[in-house]
């Protein structure tokens, strides 16, 4: 979704600000930035993308790398990562899904953050 559409959708929300929130929804960035202390900030993001290639391992790598790039773009260093994913309830083999996750973990291993589990959603499908 583009920033114009998102701005229209959230225009009437009463968002409470926080002095520690440096980058929030009003900035249309791919990540939020929250001051933990005077000299330390936390950059947070979550990303979902649709498959761009037919190879599940490569797609997993692309998805993880895309998420990491949001952190780098904000001047951050990836310390932790959540592997959040949504899969259709039917029609995709478990091996295919495992290959996607393996590709994501492979990219994260190269970048160095500690990988926590993260949510896995199931739905849709044919």
Q: What's residue 124's pLDDT?
A: 55
Q: Based on the fold, state whether residues 37 and 89 are members of the same structural domain.
A: no
Q: Based on the fold, state whether residues 62 and 120 are members of the same structural domain.
A: yes
Q: Based on the fold, state whether residues 22 and 50 are members of the same structural domain.
A: no
In this predicted model, what pLDDT tens digit does every residue of 26-81 receive, in sequence order?
777 788 899 999 999 999 888 888 888 999 999 999 999 999 999 999 999 999 99
In this predicted model, what pLDDT tens digit does every residue of 79-126 receive, in sequence order?
999 888 888 878 888 899 899 999 999 999 999 999 987 777 777 544
For 73, phi then psi, to 5°, come to -65, -25
Domains of the chain: total: 2
Query: Which of 41 and 16 is assigned the larger pLDDT?
Result: 41
- For residue 75 the two structure tokens come to 């001047």
92, with CB counted inside 10 A (0-12, 13-18, 19+), is middle
Q: Based on the fold, state whether residues 37 and 50 are members of the same structural domain.
A: no
Q: Whole-angstrom Cα distance, residue 106 to residue 125?
A: 27
Q: Based on the fold, state whether residues 64 and 125 are members of the same structural domain.
A: yes
Q: Which domain holds residue 71?
A: 46-126
Q: What's residue 2's pLDDT?
A: 76
């Amino acid at each position: 979704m583009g920033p114009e559409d998102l701005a229209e959708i959230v225009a009437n929300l009463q968002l409470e600000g926080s002095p520690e929130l440096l980058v929030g929804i009003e900035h249309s960035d791919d990540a939020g930035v929250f001051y933990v202390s005077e000299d330390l900030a936390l950059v947070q993001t979550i990303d979902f993308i649709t498959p761009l290639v037919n190879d599940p391992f490569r797609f997993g790598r692309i998805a993880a790398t895309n998420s990491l790039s949001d952190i780098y773009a904000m001047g951050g260093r990836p310390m932790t990562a959540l592997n959040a994913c949504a899969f259709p309830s039917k029609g995709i083999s478990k091996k295919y899904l495992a290959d996607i996750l393996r590709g994501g973990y492979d990219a994260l291993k190269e970048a160095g953050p500690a990988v926590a589990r993260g949510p896995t959603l199931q739905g849709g499908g044919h």
